[in-house]
Structure 1
Amino acid sequence: MKIVWRCLTLLTATASTLALVAAPAAAGSAIVGAPGAGDDYFPLAGNGGYDVSHYDLDIRYEPATRAFTGAATISARATARLSRFNLDLRGFTVRSVRVDGRPARFDRDGQELRISPRSGLSRGERFTVSVTYDGTTGRPTDNTGALYGWVSTPDGSFVANEPEGAATWYPVNDHPTDKASYDFEITVPAGKTAVANGEPRGQYTRDGWTTFRWHAADPMASYLATASIGDYDLRRSVGPRGLPIIDAVDRDLGPTGDDGLARTAEMIDYFGQLFGPYPFSSFGAIVDDDEDPGYALETQTRPIYAGPPSQSTVAHELAHQWFGDSVTPARWQEIWLNEGFATYASWLWEEHTGGRTAAARFASLHAQPETASLWNPPPGDPGAVELFAGSVYNKGAMTLQALRAKIGDAAFFALLRAWYAGHRGGNVSTSDFVRLAEKISRQQLNGFFRTWLYTPGKPTTW
């Protein structure tokens, strides 16, 4: 089955603008944290009034019955004086909620888990929330009908959250503007392997169950978290500068299942030269044998593939570690900052390895007629249902090649390096990119970006 990229990116919205939204209140009075982070495409994704610093997730999963039990401990800081706040969680039965170790009142309203601490929270106060929950998992779908979140499979789980599917398996502030570090403790039947982000911190087997511990120290958007389970073999190698590379490959795929990963270390080195140092403490891949999802996702440090990936797909997902995972859009409307950049990076890798040049790819695509689906919707604001439209990927990448031709190679690659260096670990908008491009190129580029990103149809002059 063909693997379809679904890597899951002109207002200046910042992380604080979106993640800290709360209901209006008189100065000094307690407020109810907002049930959404303010995203136009997904109004109920995320929450307002607090900022998460760490998730500690303890999960037990039985693939045969899909029985799931979870205990989540969330470390956060209140950004307003709160009488109540929300977490995103879909399904499951919540058994208990504690705030700083004390029982807290809670209720459910759709995907919102509403929590009322006994004494409220002061602005700036650091606190922990502990939630125990259980239930049966399924095969959830996003607003386009594609499988996402915790997808139950015959041998385990395929976990890929983009855009707001993290709430299908843990309580979360589910918006890209609230990044946090993670610890995972995943218990599965002996013989299964559980793989998450970051690096392994040991495993043990007791009474027919194996517990795998993983630690992800680098701040991560919730849509990039994974806890995939299957019949995986873990394969370790070393990348540039001693970078650990940990691949999990399903045994059913045989010896060629990881062929597309063979040049990963070379790719890391090449993209590091173009964009700047690799952002995180490790890398790798999860290669599953369940092609029903039909896509790959750039889960942080360990992209997940529904089947054996091509070299081009691996390059695409790797490039996302810079553009999407480290430098992350503040609004889903601006997903082209993920997909256009990663698609263009795969073009650069093809050129670097003796294939078509990026200019030739651009020319071939631009030769397509005005009626081609390539041109719409505009990649700068595709709409929630068209979030993963082909134009977001290809017209987004063409935008970068057209910009390269307009401002010259020296300015263009200086722009990519400065974009990453200046926003590493943060959240960005298209307007941020436009301002930086104008500063580096010393050209006025509003009209150029309006033509390529926001105007329907095929660009003819720019």
Structure 2
Amino acid sequence: MLLTPRATAPTPSRAGATRARRLKAALLVSAVSVCLVAASAPPAPLGVGDRLFPHLGNPGYDVASYDLSFAYSGSNREPLRAVTTIDAWATQSLDRLNLDFAHGRVDSVEVDGEPADFAAAGEDLVVTPEEPLDEGDWVRITVRHTSDPVYGPEREGGWVRTSDGLAMANQADVAHLVFPCNDHPSDKAIFTIRVSAPDGYTAVANGLQTGVDRARGTTTWTYRTRHPMATELAQVSIGRSTVLHRTGPHELPVRDVVPTEHRAALEPWLEKTPGHIAWLEGKVGRYPFETYGLLTADASTGFELETQTLSLFERQLFTEPAYPKWYVESIMVHELAHQWFGNSVTPRTWSDLWLNEGHATWYEALYAEETADRPLQDRMKAAYTASDRWRASGGPPAAPLAPRSGSKISIFRPNVYDGAALVLYALRQEIGRPAFEYLERAWVTVHRDGTAGTDDFVELASRIAGRDLGVFFKDWLYAEKTPPMPGHPDWKSAAPTGTRK
């Protein structure tokens, strides 16, 4: 995510017949035991213990895939009818399991095809199956629900209403406003997304299109990802849109989604994407996914967002004449860089956000240096000057302060953007350019399609440098004061003013 400045697997078999017999044999005992559990322990919200979002995610299971179906009526103020199917493994014995879901009516829940009890608890949907799950069980949860695009003033993200439909912006803690899920980046999964809408609308989602069905004035599009994805990176666009196709490096399919009426004005920007991909491949290796493209939305979000394979941009970024051309292109590169840093290699916790935003900012600035004569060193010196202030107001890069009340995206402060890019600059100064560039390629190769955290980066950097960098990273990532910059002892950081917020 980048805040915009304003110018003004295949499903394993579960031995279903055997499980059905177990269900029947244990029905009476299960019903009694579930009632006793429910009576003794009321449903309660859980979490995986994330430092910044303690109630986000849920323990006890690992999601393998999501199948999401949305039916759009033609009004972006009406709830969508939806069905969410989750295939998962139980990682411990469970009498009940929690899903994150906080904004929609739940009509029914099934576990392995059998009706299940459910209740709301905080921002969780607590599901009680007829039979408890054993560790290692494969389970399918089907939730029939609505997905409401209208929120109160305290909400940010989820469905974004555009001038002609809807798009998604689920970072950092809001995918569960759209669909039931295990809403934490540590639990990535394969997604299949189906969207039905009246004729005249176009729906696009993450991954590649696998089907289009038309019947009785309605079209249904189906998309599927080939690589696992975090819930906060899901994207669905519904609008009166045109999909533009072009080819990137290695015959990569590139598709952009634009409001039809603005197609001509946007095309000069969109045609730059294959060149951006080639530039980044020259820095960090081959693009990690099956497709890429830009979704330009007629909406005022205040940010651009790296939704996987289809980055979300405000149309105004490309049409506001006050933005210099080099700046717009560098922002395009920022979101593209996230496909490697944040999407393919996903943060294990939200405190690891600096790895996403720091790297995206790094390549944004490096692109501006190489193509627009905007020296990286000048930007890093300016960041160094502000670094102590950023640390005082937002925390160190790898230990950011919790979000402000009512503003989940307030974790996106300067300390995780230029403040984190400054850490990477210091690292390059410390270990030398060849080792640093080797580290960058190794990072996105070793952890491709996985999750990784700060400790993993420190370990890999130390291994490539041939020495322990623990103290270096401790000072740069966690200290209240910015350490001296290697190679630039004359750089000074201004004293902080005010209080943390």
Instruction: Report the TM-score when normalising by structure 2.
Output: 0.81
Aligned equivalent of 1:342 = 360
Q: Tell which deviates more after alignment, 51-60 or 378-387.
A: 378-387
Name the structure 2 match of 1:295.
Answer: 303
SS of match in other structure, 1:219: coil
1:81 aligned residue (82, 93, 104): 93
Match of 2:426, SS state, is: helix
The CA distance in 1 between the partners of 2:286 and 2:48, in whole Å, is 31
Counterpart mapping for 1:269-288 below 5 A:
269-288=278-297
Given the alignment, which residue of 118, 126, 136 partners 1:106?
118
Q: Secondary structure at the match of 2:227?
A: strand
Alignment check: 8 A CA contact 1:376 1:457 kept: no
Structure 1 residue 38 and structure 2 residue 56: aligned? no
> For the structure 1 residues 3 and 63, does the alpha-carbon distance in structure 2 shift closer, same or farther, using more than 3 Å as the test?
farther
The question of whether the paired residues in 2 share the 8 Å contact of 1:52 and 1:178 is answered with yes
Between 381-390 and 410-419, the greater mean CA deviation after superposition:
381-390
CA distance in 2, matches of 1:364, 1:36: 39
Alpha-carbon distance, 1:447 to partner: 3.0
Task: Give, in whole Å, the separation in 2 of the partners of 1:374 and 1:394.
Answer: 15
Aligned to 1:313: 331
Matched, 1:230 2:239: yes
Q: Is the 8 A contact 1:334 1:429 kept in 2?
A: yes
- Cα distance in 1, alignment partners of residues 48 and 377 from structure 2: 39
Change (3 A) 1:118 1:367: closer
Work out which structure has the larger RCO, using CA pairs closer than 8 Å and 6 or more positions apart in sequence. 1
Work out whether 1:158 is the aligned partner of 2:161: no
Q: Encode CA deviations 1:273-327: one digit per residue, 9 max, x unaligned.
A: 2212211111111101112x11111000111112245211110011001110011
Q: Deviations along 1:16-45, whole A, 9 cap, x unmatched?
A: xxxxxxxxxxxxx9x999821221111111
The alpha carbon displacement at 1:422 in A equals 1.1
Whether 1:419 and 2:437 are equivalent positions in the alignment is: no
CA gap 1:339/1:369 in 2 versus in 1, 3 angstroms: closer
Paired residue total: 433
Residue in 2 that maps onto 1:381? 399
Residues 266, 336 of structure 1: alpha-carbon distance in 2 compared, 3 angstrom cutoff: same
3-state secondary structure, aligned to 1:283: coil
Task: Describe the superposition over 1:412-449 as per-residue Cα deviations: whole angstroms up to 9, x where unpaired.
Answer: 00111111111111111111111211111123323322
Q: Which residue of 1 aligns with 2:462?
A: 438
1:139-218 equivalent positions in 2, closer than 5 A:
139=151, 147-218=156-227
Cα distance change of structure 1 residues 112 and 346 upon mapping to structure 2, 3 Å threshold: same
Quick check: 1:333–1:384 contact (8 Å CA) kept in 2?
Answer: no
Aligned to 2:453: 429
Give the SS at the match of 1:366. Answer: helix
Distance 1:445 1:120 in 2: 47
Match of 2:341 in 1: 323
The gaps in structure 1 that reach 5 residues or longer are 6-28
Aligned equivalents of 2:87 and 2:388: distance in 1? 51
1:132 aligns with 2:144: yes
Alpha-carbon offset, residue 140 of structure 1: 6.0
**Larger deviation, residues 349-358 vs 160-169:** 349-358
Q: Does 1:396 align with 2:404?
A: no
> Deviation string for 1:91-138 (max 9, x for gaps)?
211111111111111111121111111111121111111110126421
Alpha-carbon spacing, 1:146–1:449, altered in 2? closer, same or farther (3 Å)? farther
DSSP-derived class of the 1:420 partner: helix
What's the TM-score once normalised by structure 1's chain length? 0.88
Which whole-Å CA distance do the structure 2 matches of 1:332 and 1:134 have between them? 28
- Counterparts of 1:460 and 1:111 in 2: how far apart (Å)? 44
Q: Decide whether aligned partners of structure 1 residues 377 and 146 sit closer, same or farther in structure 2, where only a CA change above 3 A counts.
A: farther
**Conserved? CA contact 2:191–2:224, under 8 Å:** yes
Asked if 1:245 corresponds to 2:254, the answer is: yes
Structure 1 counterpart of 2:4: 4
Stretch deviating more after TM superposition (204-213 or 169-178):
204-213
Letter in 2 for 1:269: A
Higher strand share: 1
Amino acid at match of 1:120: P
**How far off is 1:373 after superposition?**
8.2
Work out whether residues 165 and 223 of structure 1, in 8 Å CA contact, stay in contact via their aligned partners in 2: yes
Is residue 361–residue 418 contact of structure 2 (8 Å, CA) maintained in 1?
Answer: yes
How large is the Cα RMSD of the aligned pairs? Answer: 2.4
- 1:458, distance to aligned residue in structure 2 (A): 4.2
Hey, what's the Cα distance between the residues in 2 that align with 1:67 and 1:433?
42
Q: Hey, what's the Cα distance between the residues in 2 that align with 1:34 and 1:455?
A: 33
Residues 388, 480 of structure 2: 8 Å contact kept: no
**Residue 416 of structure 2: SS of its match in structure 1?**
helix
Matches of 1:285 and 1:374, distance apart in 2: 35
**Cα contact 1:89–1:172 (8 A) shared by 2:** yes
CA–CA distance in 2 between the matches of 1:103 and 1:371? 55
Q: What is the alpha-carbon distance in structure 1 between the residues aligned to residue 56 and residue 387 of structure 2?
A: 38
Q: Which amino acid aligns with 2:350?
A: W
* Structure 2 portions without partners, runs of 5+: 6-36, 319-327, 404-409, 487-501
1:71 counterpart (66, 83, 104): 83
Q: Which has the larger radius of gyration?
A: 2
Q: Given the alignment of the two structures, is residue 358 of structure 1 paired with residue 358 of structure 2, yes or no?
A: no
Whichever structure has more helix as a proportion of its residues is 2
* Correspondence for 2:8: none
Say which of 446, 471, 476 aligns to 1:447.
471
Specify whether residues 146 and 88 from structure 1 end up closer, same or farther in structure 2 by C-alpha distance, changes over 3 A only: closer
Deviation at 1:254, TM superposition (A): 4.5
1-side partners of 2:155 and 2:378: how far apart?
A: 32
Residue in structure 2 matched with residue 62 of structure 1 by the alignment? 73
Contact 1:253/1:289 (8 A) holds in 2: no
- Give the drift of 1:374: 9.6
Contact 1:66/1:152, CA 8 A, preserved across alignment: no
Q: Deviations over 1:207-251 (max 9, x none)?
A: 332212111121000000011212211001111111110110112
* Contact 1:327–1:423 (8 Å) recurs in 2: yes
Shift of 1:150: 1.4
Aligned residues of 2:149 and 2:158 also touching (Cα < 8 A): no
